[in-house]
């Protein structure tokens, strides 16, 4: 898996609050709270297939269909979506939404200690990441995978990190999934989400370890700048 500069963990701790209006979820298995969703894992997405929207699990880490190896990208920069061969066709033809209700980011201000922080909506409601997907065939297997699109940080994230995932509201979700949307309209969505609608707090370094997945990860802690943890 190829790790880019941000958004390497997120949550869907309250799946019961997720809205699926107009989305076919007939093939969706039961949803359970997840507190440490990590690259290469399956993530809940909404994909437009013709006239129908479908809820499905895809692998987090987009593998371009033409790739010789099953190596994926977890993030795609909004500024270069049209230019990068790994993302350009998916941006035009295969857009999706990844469902979440929070994400983690690590403080980049210190070379020694990278304190993790948790970001969410002020009302802690679910939201979606603007994302793209592709399907890869090789080694007698087929993998449908996705990547989260990132943009410059808003005022809430900027003190911690220079980038953030693109978050979409309901109206923007419709535009993003619509196959008839013009590129100019799509690119206009790739902006920082309003900081005034979000909140954040420091959390435990335990989020660095994907095998730890419980509600303790999102609890508020005092920021500690005297520890040198590993991120992944």
Rounded average pLDDT per 10-residue block, the chain, 232 residues: 63 94 92 97 95 95 95 96 96 97 90 87 97 94 97 97 94 94 96 98 96 97 62 36
Confidence (pLDDT) at 3: 39
Q: What is the pTM of this model?
A: 0.92
Its CATH class, for the domain covering 10-218, is alpha beta
Q: What is the pLDDT of residue 2?
A: 39
Per-residue pLDDT, 96: 98
How far does the chain reach from its first CA to its final CA, in angstroms? 12
CB 149 within 8 A of CB 129: yes
pLDDT of res. 228: 43
Closest C-alpha among 91, 85, 48, 94 to residue 186 = 91
User: What pLDDT sits at residue 225?
Assistant: 58
Nearest to 87 by CA among 97, 69, 73: 73
- Can you tell me the distance from the alpha carbon of 214 to that of 35, in angstroms, rounded to the nearest whole number? 6
Active site residues: 7, 105
């Amino acid at each position: 898996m190829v790790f880019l500069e941000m958004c390497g963990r997120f949550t869907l701790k309250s799946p019961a609050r997720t809205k699926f209006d107009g989305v076919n979820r007939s093939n969706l298995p039961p949803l359970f709270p997840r507190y440490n969703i990590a690259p290469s894992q399956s993530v809940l997405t909404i994909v437009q297939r013709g006239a129908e929207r479908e809820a499905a699990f895809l692998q987090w880490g987009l593998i371009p269909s033409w790739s010789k190896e099953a190596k994926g990208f977890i993030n795609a920069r909004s500024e270069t979506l049209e230019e990068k061969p790994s993302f350009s066709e998916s941006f035009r033809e295969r857009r999706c939404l990844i469902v979440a209700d929070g994400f983690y980011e690590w403080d980049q201000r210190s070379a020694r200690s990278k304190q993790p922080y948790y970001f969410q909506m002020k009302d802690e409601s679910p939201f979606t990441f603007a994302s793209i997907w592709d399907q890869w065939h090789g080694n007698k297997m087929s993998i449908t995978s996705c990547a989260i699109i990132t943009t410059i940080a808003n005022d809430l994230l900027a003190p911690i990190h220079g980038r953030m995932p693109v978050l979409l509201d309901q109206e923007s979700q419709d535009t993003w999934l619509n196959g008839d949307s013009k590129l100019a309209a799509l690119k206009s969505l790739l902006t920082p989400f309003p900081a005034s609608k979000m909140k954040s707090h420091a959390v435990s370094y335990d989020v660095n370890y994907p095998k730890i997945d419980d509600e303790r990860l999102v609890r508020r802690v005092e920021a500690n700048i005297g520890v040198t943890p590993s991120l992944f």
